[in-house]
Structure formats: C-alpha cells, structure tokens
C-alpha cells in the first residue's frame, strides 16, 4: 500500500468509518449511565435491534433479566473506579438476549473511553455471537459424560 495513502487523513477517516459502522462484530458504546450511544450494523445483526431502536436505551435490552443486577454492579464499579478486569483484550463469555427474546451466547472485550481529563465517560464493547460454538461444546460435554457413565457401569 502507498505509504502516503495509508497515513492520509482521508484514508484514516474512511478506515475509521468503515471499521466503526461495518464491523461484522457488534460494537456497542454506552455512556456512564449505561445508555447506548453507538450501535453498529454488527450489533443490529446479532441482537436484532436497529440503530434507532437501540440508541438512548439501556443496556438492559441485551442483558438477560436474571443477570442485570450483577451486570450493573460491575458496570457501576467500573465507571466509578475507572478500572476493569476486562480491558486488556481479555474475553468475557456471557449470555445475552436478542430483540426476539432468544437467548444467545456472546464473547466480548471492552475498551474504557476517557475524556481529556482522564475521566471514564463511556465503555465500548466489541461482541461476537458464539452461540453455535457454545452449544457444540455443551453437546460434546454431555456426550463425554454419557460415555464415562457407560464405561463406569460396564463389567
């Protein structure tokens, strides 16, 4: 690639726009109160909510009800302390919900977003739907357990 092209402001702006909006993974940014302020096409595909349906709404639209208290406890701690154990590229695997109510499994990492004073103002999460892999591993564990049980009960 031409060195001058890759370092040009126009190229960088085009690249940033393409990455932000057309990334196949979900990119969701939420403010200090947990309200969604950015929702890309990957998030639309994974969760089923359009950008206009998601913007300004609480993250509760994708967090299963039984996990919300735990989610908000961690979220508030991160916003107050500015620290997260998932900000160094570590992946977290959790259940999520889609607009149609279907429960899915997602893996995600987060990026804390700071203002010019170094204060945490928002959190960006990059999420991938891993439901098929999760279900395959669950089925495999079940099959292994059945085989062990059969082997233990064999004469």
Burial environment of residue 66 by CB neighbours within 10 A (0 to 12, 13 to 18, 19 or more): exposed
**CA-CA-CA-CA torsion for 91, 34, 24, 106, nearest 10 degrees?**
40
- Of all residues in the chain, the percent with pLDDT exceeding 90 is 54
pLDDT value at residue 144:
75
The string of pLDDT tens digits covering residues 19-77 is 887 888 999 999 999 999 999 999 999 999 999 999 999 999 999 999 999 999 999 99
Task: Classify domain 3-130 by CATH architecture.
Answer: 2-Layer Sandwich (3.30)
Of 8 and 32, the structure prediction assigns the larger pLDDT to 32
The string of pLDDT tens digits covering residues 95-137 is 999 999 999 999 998 888 999 998 999 999 999 999 877 677 7
Whether 4 shows a pLDDT value over 70: the answer reads no
pLDDT value at residue 121:
94
Domain boundaries, the chain: 3-130
**What would the mean pLDDT of 1-28 be, rounded to a whole number?**
74
pLDDT confidence band for 88 (50 / 70 / 90) = low
Give all strands (DSSP E) within the chain, no chain letters. 26-31, 36-39, 92-97, 103-114, 120-129
pLDDT value at residue 42:
96
């Amino acid at each position: 690639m031409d060195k001058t092209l890759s370092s040009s402001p126009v190229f960088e702006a085009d690249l940033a726009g393409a990455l932000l909006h057309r990334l196949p993974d979900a990119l969701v940014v939420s403010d200090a109160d947990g309200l969604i302020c950015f929702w890309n096409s990957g998030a639309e595909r994974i969760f089923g909510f359009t950008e206009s349906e998601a913007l300004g709404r609480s993250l509760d639209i994708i967090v299963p009800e039984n996990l919300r208290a735990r989610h908000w406890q961690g979220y508030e701690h991160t916003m107050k302390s500015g620290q997260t154990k998932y900000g160094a590229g570590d992946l977290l695997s959790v259940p999520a919900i889609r607009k149609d109510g279907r429960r899915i499994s997602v893996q995600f990492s987060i990026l804390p977003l700071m203002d010019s004073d170094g204060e945490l103002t928002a959190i960006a999460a990059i999420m991938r739907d891993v439901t098929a892999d999760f279900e395959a591993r669950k089925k495999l564990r079940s099959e292994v357990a059945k085989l062990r049980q059969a082997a233990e009960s064999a004469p």
